[in-house]
Amino acid sequence: MKYGQLKDYDDDMDFFWKEERPVSTIGMLRQKGLMVVGKMVFGDRQFKVAFIPIEIREGLKSVLSSKNVHP
Protein backbone atom coordinates (compact mmCIF):
# COMPACT_ATOMS: atom_id res chain seq x y z
CA MET A 1 0.00 0.00 0.00
CA LYS A 2 1.29 3.47 -0.77
CA TYR A 3 2.27 5.11 2.51
CA GLY A 4 0.68 8.40 1.43
CA GLN A 5 -2.72 6.77 1.95
CA LEU A 6 -1.82 6.00 5.59
CA LYS A 7 0.37 8.88 6.73
CA ASP A 8 -2.52 10.88 8.20
CA TYR A 9 -3.22 7.97 10.55
CA ASP A 10 0.37 7.58 11.80
CA ASP A 11 2.00 9.14 14.87
CA ASP A 12 5.01 10.44 12.92
CA MET A 13 7.09 7.84 14.77
CA ASP A 14 10.70 7.81 13.62
CA PHE A 15 13.58 5.38 14.02
CA PHE A 16 14.67 6.95 17.32
CA TRP A 17 11.26 6.88 19.03
CA LYS A 18 11.77 7.27 22.78
CA GLU A 19 9.34 9.77 24.25
CA GLU A 20 5.58 9.34 23.88
CA ARG A 21 3.99 5.98 23.19
CA PRO A 22 2.25 5.77 19.83
CA VAL A 23 -1.53 5.94 20.08
CA SER A 24 -2.50 5.13 16.49
CA THR A 25 -2.92 1.56 15.30
CA ILE A 26 -0.24 2.17 12.67
CA GLY A 27 2.15 3.59 15.27
CA MET A 28 1.63 0.63 17.59
CA LEU A 29 2.15 -1.88 14.76
CA ARG A 30 5.35 -0.10 13.67
CA GLN A 31 6.66 0.09 17.24
CA LYS A 32 6.27 -3.67 17.63
CA GLY A 33 7.82 -4.41 14.23
CA LEU A 34 4.58 -5.79 12.79
CA MET A 35 4.33 -3.16 10.05
CA VAL A 36 7.24 -2.01 7.94
CA VAL A 37 7.59 1.27 6.06
CA GLY A 38 10.09 1.40 3.22
CA LYS A 39 10.62 2.23 -0.43
CA MET A 40 9.67 0.16 -3.45
CA VAL A 41 10.46 0.68 -7.12
CA PHE A 42 7.61 0.51 -9.64
CA GLY A 43 8.94 0.96 -13.16
CA ASP A 44 11.08 4.07 -13.12
CA ARG A 45 9.46 5.56 -9.98
CA GLN A 46 10.11 4.97 -6.30
CA PHE A 47 7.28 5.04 -3.74
CA LYS A 48 7.18 5.01 0.05
CA VAL A 49 5.16 1.92 1.00
CA ALA A 50 3.86 0.21 4.13
CA PHE A 51 3.28 -3.50 4.50
CA ILE A 52 2.45 -6.18 7.02
CA PRO A 53 3.98 -9.59 6.28
CA ILE A 54 1.39 -11.96 4.80
CA GLU A 55 2.28 -14.63 7.38
CA ILE A 56 0.84 -12.55 10.25
CA ARG A 57 -2.07 -10.71 8.58
CA GLU A 58 -4.86 -13.12 9.54
CA GLY A 59 -3.66 -13.31 13.14
CA LEU A 60 -3.53 -9.52 13.38
CA LYS A 61 -7.03 -9.19 11.97
CA SER A 62 -8.29 -11.50 14.67
CA VAL A 63 -6.43 -9.74 17.48
CA LEU A 64 -7.26 -6.20 16.34
CA SER A 65 -10.96 -6.98 15.90
CA SER A 66 -11.17 -8.43 19.41
CA LYS A 67 -13.02 -6.33 21.98
CA ASN A 68 -10.38 -7.21 24.59
CA VAL A 69 -7.45 -5.44 22.90
CA HIS A 70 -5.47 -3.22 25.27
CA PRO A 71 -2.60 -0.96 24.06
- In one letter, which amino acid is 71? P
Rg (CA), the chain: 13
Q: Which tens digits make up the pLDDT trace of 37-49?
A: 888 898 999 988 8
Q: Which of 15, 25, 40 is nearest to 71 (CA)?
A: 25
Average pLDDT over residues 43-63: 88
pTM: 0.60
Region label for 59, one of left (φ > 0), alpha (ψ between -120 and 50) or beta (otherwise): alpha
What is the C-alpha separation between 33 and 45, in angstroms, rounded? Answer: 26
- Local confidence band at 17 (pLDDT 50, 70, 90 cut-offs): low
Q: Where does the chain show beta strands of DSSP type E?
A: 36-42, 45-51
